[in-house]
Amino acid sequence: DAKTTQPPSMDCAEGRAANLPCNHSTISGNEYVYWYRQIHSQGPQYIIHGLKNNETNEMASLIITEDRKSSTLILPHATLRDTAVYYCIVRDSGGYQKVTFGIGTKLQVIP
Amino acid sequence: NAGVTQTPKFQVLKTGQSMTLQCAQDMNHNSMYWYRQDPGMGLRLIYYSASEGTTDKGEVPNGYNVSRLNKREFSLRLESAAPSQTSVYFCASTGLRTYEQYFGPGTRLTVT
């Protein structure tokens, strides 16, 4: 699986959009980008994933650059409950994978 | 659906004691995983099971054994606990269509 690079921390004002970047310059053609978050000490929670098209669901939007070497997770209207560690993962579409979670980005939403 | 469940939620062991962490999922997933998370660090894969009857080592398998008892259950055993195994342990399984991982609530283990 390709390696990802994320900033260790970010702040966002409540109600504003939070844009979390991820660099995955060694991504290969069959690898997807997945995003998870971990609130306090709970188990990580799946947010969204994509291959090359932008994706949106009820939680967030995922923007993947045309060359697929980076992506941005967008939380359109951040709330205090979005304070969490956000992980960006790349993996291919096989059902079983040695998925590696790095240290992620600690997002602090500020009132 | 309960999703992924783990027992116990908390455990304190003395060095040298053994214990088994239990994990079960009710989503009919094939693949299951055990991770550990230490303070300020990401999740490190201990073992995974691609399907019932198969297991394989992850990044940090030393000191652990696993059993994939059936499709639902995947247990992690510490035969002789060491203080270095103090951690939070998460079990996960992989979705059938889009392969996202679903995580349990974690087991907080302290070895003194």
Q: How far apart are CA B77 and CA B57, in angstroms?
A: 14
Name the minimum distance, in Å, from the CA of B15 to any CA of chain A.
25
B1-58, pLDDT tens digit by residue? 789 999 999 999 999 999 999 999 999 998 999 999 998 788 999 999 988 989 999 9
- In this prediction, residue A95 has a pLDDT band, given cuts at 50, 70 and 90, of low
Any A CB within 8 A of B105 CB: yes
At residue A103, the pLDDT reads 86
B60-79, pLDDT tens digit by residue? 999 999 999 899 999 999 99
List B residues 17-56 in contact with A (Cβ-Cβ < 8 A).
30-31, 33, 35, 40-45, 48-51
Name the minimum distance, in Å, from the CA of A12 to any CA of chain B.
21
B79-88, pLDDT tens digit by residue? 999 999 999 9
Name the minimum distance, in Å, from the CA of B19 to any CA of chain A.
21
Yes or no: say if A54 and A65 are a contact pair by the CB < 8 Å rule: no
Q: Does A101 sit within 8 Å of B48, measured CB to CB?
A: no
Any A CB within 8 A of B88 CB: yes
Contacts with B58 from chain A: Cβ below 8 Å? 98
Q: Does A42 sit within 8 Å of B106, measured CB to CB?
A: yes
Polymer length of chain A: 111
